[in-house]
């Protein structure tokens, strides 16, 4: 059946007759929506929305993550042929997932960007589904958290990164991808005591009360124990998961703006994400994929896999409902 489907499927981002189902369109052809889902703004009956945020004007080093959403979508064409390994269910078959396209914004009006993104996510949440966002630099998580906190109150943050992004910055109007979680804590968007940062390996004098599992701890304790610690910290509290691709070691994800040695291997990240199944995930993102610095495409491939795992995490607790 898959072979016959491959002979006739093309441009499923626009032509697929239903939202559910695996896809067998050639990886190297067609319109590259995420996992070959339908592009649509119609959210009636939708379970989960994937949306791109091609913004990179908050970076401290190399730019280029504005091209991340496009690269991640292209890399995802390798994945929709089969259910994701190890999860025991097929989210593409069992749930209505759509690609909402990218945020539209004036690239030259940077000051207007945060409210534009918050409104974008707020509109989706008001329609019912959650979001998985494809960044963009890591600042994009801050406007997204504002929309989520409006609905859920202070969130638990599960934060994979080489950097804590809690460096002090009391100017709430500054747009900086290294200070947004300091601001999120100050504004009550996240509860630091019920939040956790994984893979940290850069110095900060003040982690703002966040629980930190640094990269060395991951290497020494192992993925299974780290996943148990994460579940204990967040409990059953609504949580948002943000994955900065530089959490991975540059050997696995060189295409990013601020690479730091000593990071997680891709297999460690995959195991942790799989083993935290059951957390009350309400949304998530994968950010800082900058494809120009990776001629192999490995960074975008990792980003696409992370986003697919976030879809599984989001839908895991919703399978029976």
Binding residues for Mn(2+), by number, are: 138, 161, 163, 165, 244, 246
The Cα 130–Cα 111 span in angstroms is 26
In SS3 terms, 213-274 reads as EEHHHHHHHCHHHHHHHHHHHHCCCCEEEEEEHHHECCCCCCCCCCCCCCCECHHHHHHHHH
Residues 260 and 143: their CA atoms lie apart, in Å, by: 26
Yes or no: say if 35 and 16 are a contact pair by the CB < 8 Å rule. no
DSSP assignment of 132-147 equals: EEEESSGGGHHHHHHH
Q: How far is CA 275 from the centre of its chain?
A: 17
| Continuous segment of H or E residues that includes residue 234 | helix 223-234
Residue whose C-alpha is closest to residue 134's, from 122, 117, 151: 117
Q: Annotated binding site: which residue ranges? A: 138, 161, 163, 165, 244, 246
């Amino acid at each position: 059946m898959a072979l016959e489907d491959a002979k006739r499927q093309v441009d499923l981002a626009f032509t697929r007759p239903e939202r559910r189902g695996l896809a067998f369109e050639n990886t190297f052809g067609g319109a590259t929506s995420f996992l070959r889902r339908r592009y649509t703004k119609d959210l009636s009956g939708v379970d989960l929305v994937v949306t791109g945020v091609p913004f990179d004007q908050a970076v401290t080093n190399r730019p280029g993550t504005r091209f991340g959403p496009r690269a991640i979508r292209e890399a995802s064409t390798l994945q929709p042929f089969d259910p994701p390994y190890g999860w025991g269910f097929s989210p593409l078959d069992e749930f209505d997932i759509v690609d909402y396209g990218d945020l539209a914004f004036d690239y030259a009006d940077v000051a207007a960007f945060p409210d534009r993104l918050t409104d974008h996510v707020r509109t989706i949440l008001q329609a019912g589904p959650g979001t998985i966002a494809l960044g963009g630099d890591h600042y994009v998580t801050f406007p997204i958290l504002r929309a989520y906190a409006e609905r859920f109150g202070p969130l638990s943050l599960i934060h994979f990164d080489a950097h804590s992004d809690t460096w002090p910055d009391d100017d709430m109007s500054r747009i900086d991808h290294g200070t947004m979680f300091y601001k999120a804590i100050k504004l009550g968007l996240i509860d630091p005591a019920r939040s956790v940062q994984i893979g940290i390996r850069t110095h900060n004098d003040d982690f703002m009360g966040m629980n930190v599992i640094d990269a060395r701890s991951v290497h020494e304790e192992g993925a299974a124990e780290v996943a148990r610690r994460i579940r204990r910290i967040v409990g059953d509290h609504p949580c948002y998961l943000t994955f900065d691709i530089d959490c991975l070691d540059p050997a696995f994800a060189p295409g990013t703006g601020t690479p730091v040695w000593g990071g997680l291997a891709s297999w460690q990240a995959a195991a942790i994400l799989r083993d935290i199944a059951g957390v009350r995930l309400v949304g998530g993102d994968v950010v800082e994929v900058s494809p120009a610095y990776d001629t192999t495409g490995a960074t975008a491939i990792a980003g696409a896999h992370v986003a697919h795992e976030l879809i599984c995490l989001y839908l895991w607790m919703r399978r029976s409902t």
